[in-house]
Amino acid sequence: MKTVVEAISRMLGLGGKIEQISLENAIAEWGAEMAHFAFGSNSQVTATKARKMLSWNPTSASLWDEIESGYYHHKYAQESTS
């Protein structure tokens, strides 16, 4: 998750800088439901099983490349500078 957040930070022109936040502060800032959802979704996944079982070989850009220079960049980076 840290790598994704750093990519988002770079895409928004923040240089990859991120800040950690405690669950208590997240609850105070975002409310309990959103804080627990955000912290609970921090799971690591890989495509190893899909590649092996399905002979899947992705040909598109990585998630990080897509965030920094694909659709998300074109949509949100411009909005963050406005």
Enclosing domain of residue 40: 2-80
pLDDT value at 81 more than 70: no
Would you tell me the crossing angle of helices 23-30 and 32-40 to the nearest 10 degrees? 130
Please tell me the pTM assigned to this model.
0.56
Average pLDDT over residues 29-44: 82
What pLDDT is recorded for position 33?
Answer: 93
Number of domains within the chain: 1
Task: Report DSSP state, residue 75.
Answer: I
State the amino acid at position 51 in one-letter form: R
Average pLDDT over residues 27-37: 93
Percentage, residues of the chain above pLDDT 70? 87
